Structure 1
Amino acid sequence: MNKPLNLFILAGEASGDKLGGALMQGLNTLYDGDITYRGVGGDQMIANGLPTLFDMSDLSVMGLVEILPKIPKLLSRVKTTARAAIAQKPDAIITIDSPDFCFRVVAKVKETYPDIPVIHYVAPSVWAWRPERAQKMARYVDHVLALLPFEPPYMIDAGMTCDFVGHPAAFDPPLDAAALGAMKQQLGLEGPVITLLPGSRAGEIKRMMPIFRQVAKNISAKHPDTNFLLPVARPVVKQVQRAVANWALPVKLLLPQADASATEARKNAAYAISDVALATSGTVALELAAQNCPMVVAYRANWATTRMVKKLAQIDTANLVNIVTQSRVIPEFLFEKCTAAQLTPAIMALLDDKAALGAQENALQDTMKALGRGDPDMKLAAARSVLNKLGK
């Protein structure tokens, strides 16, 4: 048996928590010895052995305007987290996405332990915008776990080592017909099913829910038998419940359960039984692709973020399925195009147009294959990469 391994691991939002939970599960499987975890995470990381320092939702802020009033609290959390890491003196720090928070913590820890190994999970999308981020990241990070197969050269050129490790969504097999039938029966669903995914951050819910409500209202007027499902992230449960209280539409909220794996399984089942999803732009696209769920993608931001992204973006799509397949098969309605008037016909087209639906389904399957589906070694690739980097 190996000597105990001491890891400090950080995630700042729901997508990072999913990655962190899968990584920890892989480490627990591969490492022949005890592992002690400390840091910050959500339900899935907690379920795999992380005693989180504080509620991860404290860090879920996105957008230039939204972050300003949160700066004092965020800086306080940086100090708290860095002090905990210094006290623990871990064998390595693993940071998952959320670079603004994570790298501030790492910078403070390195003042005390300058040689501590730092592994970052999720390469920044330098191929899309702000390519200088790779060089800045190399000041703090030794090794990168990349989700996309074309990302390692960008990280290596900046002076870090990097492995392509795929995405956990690709390792979730599509649910069988019996499981899907049971889910539909449990929820009492007859007719078309549309899943609404407004986001996991408070700012996203505030901006996207009014638009999603109008889309649902428009579709219900044309197809009264349509069912709407809305899986709710734990940090925004109360906010979503307040928002839908006056919808007067047949929307079923799928609230988080005590068991993180049960919550994840039910969410995946919701995707699998859906005819189409309306999703706020983000890595949820890969989770939908994993369950072969066609999608329309939307995103609305404040004026400052909108202006910055438009100025700096180097590609014309934000959707990971489009990026991986080098296509534009997933409809996107970003910024000023994110209106109910434009989203409604895009969703109706997927419900009614078999050719458009078939093109999406092919792209979803190609994306999953590119991210590791069907390769038995990929499920543990992230954990194996971490242990190899640490010489374990």
Structure 2
Amino acid sequence: MKKILISALEPSANLHLGEVLKHLAGYEICGIFDERYGVPAYKSSEFSAMGFAGVLGLVFKARQAIKELVCLAKDCDVVLLIDAPAFNIPLAKALKNAGVKAKIIYYILPKVWAWKRERAKAVRQYCDELASILPFDEQFFVGAKYVGNPLLDEIKQFKSAPSKSGVVAFMPGSRRGEIARLMPVFKQVAGQIAAKKVLVVPPFFRDRLSEIYGDVSEFEISSDTASTLNLSDFAFICSGTATLEAALIGTPFVLAYKARAVDIMIAKMLVKIKFIGLANIMFDFMGKPPLNVELIQDDVSAKSLLNAYENHDADKFITAASELRDYLGQGSSQNVANLIKEIAVE
């Protein structure tokens, strides 16, 4: 039986991993991943703070995990690293330095087009195959192969015409800080809209609604992002993957982002992009005007959000969503699985 070492730290990485594993029946996996896929050496949830904040508290655990994964990799045929460059680049380096023979696939490449461009060189140096999910990654990574986008595997329905359900979605994010900053203004907006309001919350917050969201009596609650977006006529969304999901599905939305002042200051110094939403970033690379309104920091007000809602062009959005799907072309899971199979045979 062929064996794969996997490093999937984030919830999104595990969602994408699940799609890949559907095409890999009979393969054994080890490493870091969600328990629903087997018995990991480390659960992904143990690394939930990896990123900008909370990284210092996990440095020791990360070092120990890398040592253990290097040992595990010596008995593996392939290594699959998914996103999480702060962990996976040092892991790839450690694997190469230890003389691990298994080829390393990096799936979902670091966003070097936004910041830390030096990571492109490191990824190329320590990884054998670069599986890109954004067509323009190839401009920044030598040898990158575009394999498609995982959201085109995971989203099952796309709109061909504007919906008229009378439903509006509110998606204030999945982190407590961003929820706390956006919910007050989202509630103001909800109170001025004559529509059925649906609040999308992560499954792990459903039993703590009042603690995290406050009074949500005027909202219906959902944890199914794609289905809610497909049903909704419009959405108010915190930045993140949900903005790209809405864009691909064809649900008009406004992006609202409020962060701590220090985080915005750091971002302005380090991040070199005109937009923060993935759909708008892609349209910019396509040479097209932005798809949706982006409101950041003090621009996030009930008045500005309502203005975006009242003035959106649903027909124009449907056309743009189709262009975006054509640009991305296909899902990625089958191509990544095929790459793993090819390497395992070698």
Considering the TM-score relative to the shorter chain, is it more than 0.5?
A: yes
Q: What amino acid is aligned across from residue 341 of structure 2 in structure 1? A: L
Alignment equivalent of 2:77, drawn from 61, 66, 91:
91
Q: What amino acid is aligned across from residue 40 of structure 1 in structure 2? A: I
Cα offset, 1:174, TM superposition: 1.3
Q: What amino acid is aligned across from residue 230 of structure 2 in structure 1? A: A
- Does the C-alpha gap of structure 1 residues 154 and 84 become closer, same or farther in structure 2, counting only changes over 3 Å? closer
Alignment equivalent of 2:58, drawn from 69, 73, 79:
73
Structure 1 or 2: larger helix share? 1
Alignment equivalent of 2:28, drawn from 36, 40, 59:
36
Cα offset, 1:281, TM superposition: 1.4
- Does the C-alpha gap of structure 1 residues 335 and 391 become closer, same or farther in structure 2, counting only changes over 3 Å? farther
Higher mean Cα deviation, 165-174 or 144-153?
A: 165-174
Q: What amino acid is aligned across from residue 166 of structure 2 in structure 1? A: P
Output the CA distance in 1 between the equivalents of 2:157 and 2:115. 33
- Does the C-alpha gap of structure 1 residues 210 and 311 become closer, same or farther in structure 2, counting only changes over 3 Å? closer
Output the CA distance in 1 between the equivalents of 2:188 and 2:195. 12
- Does the C-alpha gap of structure 1 residues 241 and 106 become closer, same or farther in structure 2, counting only changes over 3 Å? farther
Q: 2:138 matched to which residue of 1? A: 152
Q: 2:335 matched to which residue of 1? A: 381
Q: What amino acid is aligned across from residue 282 of structure 2 in structure 1? A: V
Gaps in structure 1 of 5+ consecutive residues? 29-33, 182-189, 256-265, 351-355
Q: Deviations over 1:342-391 (max 9, x none)?
A: 334323433xxxxx222222222211121124xxx865122223333455
Q: Work out whether 1:129 is the aligned partner of 2:109.
A: no
Q: Is the 1:128–1:315 contact (alpha carbons within 8 Å) kept by the matching residues of 2?
A: yes
Give me the CA root mean square deviation.
Answer: 2.9
- Does the C-alpha gap of structure 1 residues 339 and 8 become closer, same or farther in structure 2, counting only changes over 3 Å? farther
Output the CA distance in 1 between the equivalents of 2:167 and 2:152. 23
Q: Deviations over 1:215-265 (max 9, x none)?
A: 233332x2244322314143x445555223x3254222334xxxxxxxxxx
Q: Is the 2:4–2:78 contact (alpha carbons within 8 Å) kept by the matching residues of 1?
A: yes
Q: 1:19 matched to which residue of 2? A: 16
Alignment equivalent of 1:309, drawn from 249, 267, 276:
267
Q: Is the 1:321–1:363 contact (alpha carbons within 8 Å) kept by the matching residues of 2?
A: no
Output the CA distance in 1 between the equivalents of 2:270 and 2:59. 25
Q: Deviations over 1:288-311 (max 9, x none)?
A: 233222221122233333222212
Q: 2:227 matched to which residue of 1? A: 269
Aligned length: 338
| 3-state SS, counterpart of residue 27 of structure 1 | coil
Alignment equivalent of 2:152, drawn from 145, 164, 170:
170
| 3-state SS, counterpart of residue 141 of structure 2 | helix
- Does the C-alpha gap of structure 1 residues 56 and 308 become closer, same or farther in structure 2, counting only changes over 3 Å? same
Q: 1:343 matched to which residue of 2? A: 305
Q: Is the 2:185–2:302 contact (alpha carbons within 8 Å) kept by the matching residues of 1?
A: yes
Higher mean Cα deviation, 146-155 or 49-58?
A: 49-58
TM-score by length of 2: 0.85
